[in-house]
């Protein structure tokens, strides 16, 4: 388990490693880039560096961390990847239950798989577990609907990388209570227009949803964030009410 520079959390925990691309937001995956770094392109090590792997020796790491932390689960994978068996997901959730002093953030691009798992193991989704989905374009807004059938103190959506104007999303925002927005980063970053982020910010204001603006994106860091973390000169780092005052953005 490691400290992380991801601004909306404190630590990352990766009992699963690797993933496959499921939509355009995955094209320039930061996790894949990290996994392949240091390998010779085209080599066997490079080709298989991001294959899905279970890491059972990491299952107890949160229990060993005694200080309460905000923990992003599977930052280098997707817990609801088809290659992850249910028995192993149960073990991960049991750890989250046993480490009740932490708050865990579970984010997926596979809400159907998460909802199916929830239908079987709803009792494992305790109050210290937040559930969220990642959405990058209009055609994937329906991922948010999957959260409506689940119980969690915090349901959230990460619009990152935001690849287009999402239009009117107020009905979707009624399902969640926290929104993260960010542009893509890295050498092949696709641009995000400021007006797209402002539209989401304004709709969050209308619906009472907390709004966290992570970064503009791009290839250059400004004050520790790719493209800078200001939106129209303002800083938006709102967290769900359970964590107000818990941490400050790490620049």
List the chain pLDDT tens, one digit each, 251 residues: 888 888 899 999 999 998 899 899 888 888 888 888 888 788 887 877 788 999 999 999 999 999 999 999 999 899 999 999 999 999 999 999 999 999 999 999 999 999 999 999 999 999 999 999 999 999 999 999 999 989 999 999 999 999 999 999 999 999 999 999 999 988 888 999 999 999 999 999 999 999 999 988 766 777 667 667 788 888 899 999 755 433 333 32
Any domain includes 1: yes
- Residues 165 and 213 occupy one common structural domain: yes
d(CA 206, CA 214): 20
- pTM, 2 dp: 0.90
Last residue of a domain, one of 84, 102, 133: 133
**Whether the Cβ atoms of residue 249 and residue 237 lie closer than 8 Å to each other:** yes
- Residues 90 and 12 occupy one common structural domain: yes
Number of folded domains that form the chain: 2
Name the H helices within 15-110: 30-36, 44-48, 61-64, 86-98
pLDDT reported for residue 211 = 96
Strand extents, DSSP E, 89-175: 103-108, 129-134, 155-159
Any domain includes 250: no
pLDDT reported for residue 251 = 25
**Beta bridge mates, 71:** 11, 104
Any domain includes 93: yes
pLDDT reported for residue 249 = 33
Any domain includes 39: yes
- Residues 4 and 102 occupy one common structural domain: yes
DSSP three-state, residue 225: strand
- Residues 111 and 172 occupy one common structural domain: no
pLDDT reported for residue 226 = 66
pLDDT reported for residue 227 = 65
């Amino acid at each position: 388990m490691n400290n992380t520079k991801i601004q909306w959390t404190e630590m990352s925990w990766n009992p699963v490693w690797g993933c496959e691309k499921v939509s355009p937001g995955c094209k320039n995956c930061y996790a894949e880039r990290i996994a392949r770094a240091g390998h010779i392109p085209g080599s066997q090590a490079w080709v298989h560096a991001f294959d899905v792997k279970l890491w059972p020796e990491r299952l107890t790491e949160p229990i060993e961390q005694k200080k309460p932390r905000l923990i992003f689960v599977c930052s280098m994978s997707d817990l609801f990847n088809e290659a992850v068996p249910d028995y192993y997901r149960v073990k991960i959730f049991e750890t989250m239950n046993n480490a009740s002093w932490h708050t865990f953030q579970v984010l997926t691009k596979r809400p159907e798989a998460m909802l199916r798992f929830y239908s079987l193991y709803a009792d494992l989704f305790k109050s210290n577990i937040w559930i969220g989905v990642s959405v990058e374009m209009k055609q994937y807004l329906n991922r948010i609907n999957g959260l409506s059938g689940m119980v969690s103190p915090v349901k959230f959506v990460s619009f990152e990388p935001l690849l287009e104007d999402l239009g009117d999303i107020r009905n979707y925002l009624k399902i969640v209570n926290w929104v993260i927005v960010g542009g893509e980063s890295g050498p092949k970053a696709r641009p995000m227009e400021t007006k797209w982020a402002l539209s989401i910010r304004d709709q969050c204001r209308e619906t009472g949803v907390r709004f966290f603006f992570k970064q503009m994106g791009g290839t250059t860091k400004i004050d520790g964030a790719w493209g800078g973390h200001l939106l129209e000169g303002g800083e938006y780092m709102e967290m769900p009410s359970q964590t107000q005052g818990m941490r400050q953005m790490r620049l």
